[in-house]
Structure 1
Amino acid sequence: MNHTSSKLRTALLPLLAALVLAGCATSASVDPASIPAAPSAYKENAAAVATAAATAPQSQGTWWKVFADPVLDQLVEQAGNNNNSVKVAAGRLAQARAILRNTDADRLPQVGLSGGAVRQSNITTNRVAQTTVTAAANFSYEVDLIGKLSLNSDAASLDAKSREALLRSTQLLVQADVAQTYLNLRSLDTERTLVRDTLQAYRNTLRLTEIRFKEGDVAELDVARVRTEVAATESEALALDRRRAELEHALAVLVGEVASNFAVAPTEWST
């Protein structure tokens, strides 16, 4: 029986060794240069298909300043500081960078120092009390034989870079939303001014038409027609007012303000 068990253990030793080595194995790093590039054209209708040339990315600087509007500049800056989406993205980037620092620290030698002091006295021998001071230092270093620490550091670095790209994209998206909403609001202010001027003109026309109707110069149908124009224009003005309030509320959310306390003074915007 013992002889059979010994043979069984001997037969299983290579299998156990293979399993141990497999557990220590790590995925090999992939060199981006070794990945085959996609073909620029195919044999089917190659001449009819145009390949777009790569273009340099546009600058992500203060592009909104081309509008030369100080109110827009202030809103974009406020959104960059207070917008919830930007805050979340910035927090995730800070977390990823902290993980990267901790991961890189694991690859460095670890040095520790410790010390202490003990004061002793012996009452029976009447000896003078003595103070014993101790100090110790320890040094440790994890040898990265299988590349685990290196791969962890690479993964943390890639995660930090992706978080940074996400933050930049979020900032750019918020900036674009603020600019678009603000320009829509200014365009609406211009339209509201035109509608209000038109409404005032219709009201003046109605007043004159009613005077002429009393004098018998025009028919009652003319008065009714002008009144209809006045009512329609008043309805349009109210709709524009509601739309402006919606845009103001959207801006408040983008810049991180309470909608009830946020307002943008109406004015006509001109380039």
Structure 2
Amino acid sequence: MKRFLVIAVALAVSGCAMVGPDYERPGTPLPTQFEAQAATASPTAVAADWWKVYGDEMLNELIVESFANNADLQGATARVEEADAVLREAHSALVPLVNGQLGAARGRVLGNTPPVGNAFTVGVSASYEIDVWGRLRRGERAAQANLLASRYGRDTVQITLAATVARTYFGVRALDAQQRASQEILDAATESLDLATKRADAGLVPALDIYQAGSLRSTASAQLKEVARLRAALEHQLGVLTGRLDVKVPTGRLVSLPIPPQAPAGLPSQLLERRPDVREAEQRLVSATELIGVARASQFPTLDLTAAFGIANPQISDLFTTGSRFWSVGAGLVGPIIDGGRYAARTDQATAQARQAEASYRKSVQEAFRDVADALSNVQLAQETEVELQHLVEQARQTLTLSRQRYESGYSAYLEVLDAQRTLNDSQIQLIRNRQALLSFTVDLMVALGGGWDPSRA
């Protein structure tokens, strides 16, 4: 028994070596820094709860509710719990398995007296696989990497959910602004229709002016109803995202939402490493690399140790008094001799799957860099466009004022007023949509950098 234990310990110590490759992060050549983009760039750090920089309590409430009730996020959380259970199962393979047993049997043995008898047993048995080639340890590492990947996957779902809620909320606010602009246009069109009717009744203008003014009013009224329809649809979408289907968003002002501080110049590209989707892709690669070792170790024999101890007696009443004690220890070596290349093929499969995971990781890093570059340029250009559109709206408003004055004085036809009103309408909608896009681009930047940034910790 002592010799057996000495051999088992020696084999266990020798099992420290593991076959298969160890993980090394593949190189992903990228520029060291992003180009300076935003004119309002600031070294101010943005925390992980980046949505609070917009200073809107309703938005904060919606995102918190989505974290608590969204079905996609709940599913991602369940996947983390599943991966945790898989890891605990993999870890349990590294410790002995001990079973209790209680048996009763009746049988006949030729030549014995009496020929038919009972047998009652109670005992324990244990089995343990010496991890000589590292198959179990690499399996545990693979499960650990999968757990981390699942956690990062959940973080990706969470940050994507917050971004979707924010963009949808900004859409609601943009429609509120369009609704006010459409109402303003409708009111102006109603005044123009009244004016044209009075001037036509007085014989100062043809009836055509009434029809043109009426057409403008009908267009403005239809536009107002379409805006209300779109707003209701976005509100319903927020209900699904937050898990509160009866959610109601009160009317608000789009311009009250501030543009958050932008990323500072020369932002280091290492910030991409904190993105949860990039981390998830890397942990998938780590797991796939460890599974190569698992497959490789399966080509070698496995060494199992077994032990059993118990009591047996033909009479159950005497089992614990005069029963016979028994024990046994043993070791077994089992391995493939002729497998037709089965295990080698499995190793090749695992190697190919690791190469696929590496390609996915490289692609995720490259796409992450592109996301940040796109978001930076989008924010910069949208800010510049907003300045131009503000000038355009002001000019269109002045043009409409002058056109109405000329029409009231009889110096021009109503068509000039009609064109000026349409130009103002279009320019207001463009400004509102650009503002919505600018806010959405700032969200894109937050997400692209993994949820805010802190240059001092890059």
Measured after TM superposition, the shift of residue 216 of structure 1 is 2.9
Measured after TM superposition, the shift of residue 37 of structure 1 is 4.2
Size of the aligned set, in residue pairs, is 211
Alpha-carbon contact 1:80-1:255 (below 8 Å) kept? yes
CA RMSD, Structure 1 to Structure 2 (Å)? 2.9
Alpha-carbon contact 2:19-2:134 (below 8 Å) kept? no
Task: Find out whether 1:187 has 2:165 as its counterpart.
Answer: no
Partner residue in 1 for 2:320: none
Q: Distance in 2 between matches of 1:111 and 1:60?
A: 49
Measured after TM superposition, the shift of residue 225 of structure 1 is 1.4
Partner residue in 2 for 1:266: 251
Secondary structure of 1:74 counterpart:
helix
Match of 2:162 among 143, 154, 175: 175
Task: Find out whether 1:53 has 2:32 as its counterpart.
Answer: yes
Secondary structure of 1:103 counterpart:
helix
Task: Find out whether 1:238 has 2:222 as its counterpart.
Answer: no
C-alpha distance 99-231 of structure 1, shift in aligned 2 (>3 A):
same
Q: Distance in 1 between matches of 2:186 and 2:26?
A: 67
Partner residue in 2 for 1:102: 89
Task: Find out whether 1:86 has 2:65 as its counterpart.
Answer: no
Partner residue in 2 for 1:253: 240
Secondary structure of 1:216 counterpart:
coil
Partner residue in 1 for 2:215: 228
Secondary structure of 2:250 counterpart:
coil
Partner residue in 2 for 1:29: 20
Alpha-carbon contact 1:60-1:172 (below 8 Å) kept? no
What per-residue deviation string (whole Å, max 9, x for no partner) do you get for residues 143-200 of structure 1? 2223222122112111111111111111111111110111111011011111112101
Secondary structure of 2:216 counterpart:
helix
Any residues of structure 2 matched to 1:120-135 within 5 Å, and which? none
Task: Find out whether 1:69 has 2:52 as its counterpart.
Answer: no
Report the TM-score, using the length of structure 1 for normalisation. Answer: 0.68
Measured after TM superposition, the shift of residue 54 of structure 1 is 6.1
Q: Which runs of 5+ in 2 are unaligned?
A: 1-17, 35-44, 103-121, 258-458
Residue identity matched to 2:253: E
Measured after TM superposition, the shift of residue 234 of structure 1 is 1.2
Q: Distance in 1 between matches of 2:20 and 2:56?
A: 50
Alpha-carbon contact 1:178-1:251 (below 8 Å) kept? yes
Q: Which protein has greater RCO, CA pairs closer than 8 Å, 6+ apart?
A: 2
Secondary structure of 1:107 counterpart:
coil
Alpha-carbon contact 1:79-1:174 (below 8 Å) kept? yes
C-alpha distance 36-196 of structure 1, shift in aligned 2 (>3 A):
closer
Measured after TM superposition, the shift of residue 214 of structure 1 is 2.5
What per-residue deviation string (whole Å, max 9, x for no partner) do you get for residues 74-117 of structure 1? 111111111111111110011101111122123134567899xx
Query: Mean alpha-carbon deviation: is it higher for 177-186 or for 204-213?
Result: 204-213
Report the TM-score, using the length of structure 2 for normalisation. Answer: 0.42
C-alpha distance 59-32 of structure 1, shift in aligned 2 (>3 A):
farther
C-alpha distance 59-223 of structure 1, shift in aligned 2 (>3 A):
closer
Q: Distance in 2 between matches of 1:111 and 1:28?
A: 28
